[in-house]
Structure 1
């Protein structure tokens, strides 16, 4: 039996070697990708140890003394830390509630367009904002929503309505952020749903049409059930990023007047890590953020499986 196991193992190794050699050029194309992730993703992970050290920039990571969980205890006692978590979750939940259903609706609307040229032009217009830098988007938002001289307030003033402080009042700032993010990303988010819609069996539509189903009924009973796995997958991925917001949007749109709602984890880490050089604190916050995102991902995936969906893990 032992000799048989050895022969089977050698045969498997030989078969694998032949397959690798057969597709050697494809594997060779993977080398730059693997090198990128190893050099820029895995090697820097040793820097996580800074969160457990009294880091000194002159001593370096290796020579800095260990301090256990003292850094975490310190940041957990900070009111600004919990404020940034609250704001991050609030903005992400509001963006999810607005962006997620509207993205699906826009994808369904685009799928109903039958004029090919018009559909391509519409898609290109919707995709374009995604490729704009947040610096540009923030500049556009400022010109539109500024209380003094902003286009929207000028129109409101022309109608006899007083100016609205979109960028200097907490509630209105959240509205401005959500709308700006929606305008920038809604078109790009439709790509996956449009790809899923191309996989819906046309014979189902034909059979339902012969049975007298309306367009709305075909949408409810055929289209949405067919793309439900994709919707669930995108929802799980969105939930897994609840603790993450890019630095540029809140930093560029925010100001001191709305700090109570615009200070998110990324801007908080920027201020204490870059501006105040508290590298251990910023690393600990980043590690905590990643761990919470992983937990949210696992919970969302388990919930999806519990209701009969496949999940992503």
Structure 2
């Protein structure tokens, strides 16, 4: 009875909580029932309940497909390169913003850095085409004006990877600083004052005070980033990619799109999605365990 009285007392809080709970139940948990298609010879006319159950034969078919392992390799490669470039730059940018003392300039800088995150990948891809196109791209116009040969940014495998990473970093680096800036606000100012009185330079204060104080946040964000190594958004590789660079631009999300939407192979696309999720969970647990082994708190 006391529990009911407490809930009634906090009824408005629980009512506000009801909507996000319903969202996750309806759009996240209920659709998980569709994972059974990964173990069926799914027929769209028979539905989930009447389609033939075939066990792991769908997975066996996928694992024998060379294209599948190619898209796994591409997904890991693009995510790893983006992480290697984006993660340290995000921390460095947050540290630089934290050192800005002019409040108006700091707010303006943050607004400009956050803006690309809210730009659609359709727009970003259009900007990339205008900048990196061989025939009409701004960069290639400048290169040709300087007497150089045009660079196939979007039609050569190596240059396409470079362009993809640059676009991703530009789009997300500013937004990634939000959490680090929030963590930096919790650093005790008296530590900086004591270090300043001891003669520590600004660089030494950053190295010996700022970074150690936000290290738990850095470790947590790194674990979460590593746990998404097998996941990649559909928009960027689909919009930036083309037939000339399919060898590196075809990733798991585009592979699922092509076999699931274009070829209507629902069992295979569901199996690939399930494989992707299982691997991400395994990587998350492994990264968390490794963090704890080296003396960090981890996230689980």
- Sort the TM-score into its range (normalised by shorter chain): over 0.9
**Corresponding residue SS for 2:41:** coil
Partner of 1:62: 49
CA shift, 1:91, in A, is: 0.2
CA distance in 2, matches of 1:278, 1:133: 29
Partner of 2:134: 147
Normalised to the residue count of structure 2, the TM-score between the two structures is 0.99
> What does the per-residue CA deviation read over 1:12-33, in whole Å, with 9 as the maximum and x for residues that have no partner?
xx44333222211101111111
CA distance in 2, matches of 1:227, 1:158: 46
Gap runs ≥5 in structure 2: none
In the TM superposition, structure 1's runs of 4+ consecutive aligned residues that sit over 6 Å from their partners are none
Gap runs ≥5 in structure 1: 1-13
CA distance in 1, matches of 2:2, 2:195: 50
Partner of 2:198: 211
Partner of 1:257: 244
CA distance in 1, matches of 2:110, 2:167: 18
Aligned partner of 2:117 among 130, 144, 147: 130
Aligned partner of 2:180 among 193, 201, 214: 193
Partner of 1:110: 97
Tell me the C-alpha RMSD between the 2 structures: 0.6
CA shift, 1:119, in A, is: 0.5
Partner of 1:50: 37
Partner of 1:290: 277
Partner of 2:157: 170
Partner of 1:11: none
Partner of 2:143: 156
Partner of 1:230: 217
**Corresponding residue SS for 1:32:** helix
Normalised to the residue count of structure 1, the TM-score between the two structures is 0.95
For the pair 1:277 / 2:264, whether they are aligned, the reply is yes
Partner of 2:86: 99
CA distance in 2, matches of 1:43, 1:52: 18
**Residue-pair matches, total:** 300
CA shift, 1:275, in A, is: 0.4
CA distance in 1, matches of 2:97, 2:38: 47
CA distance in 2, matches of 1:168, 1:36: 41
**Corresponding residue SS for 2:174:** helix
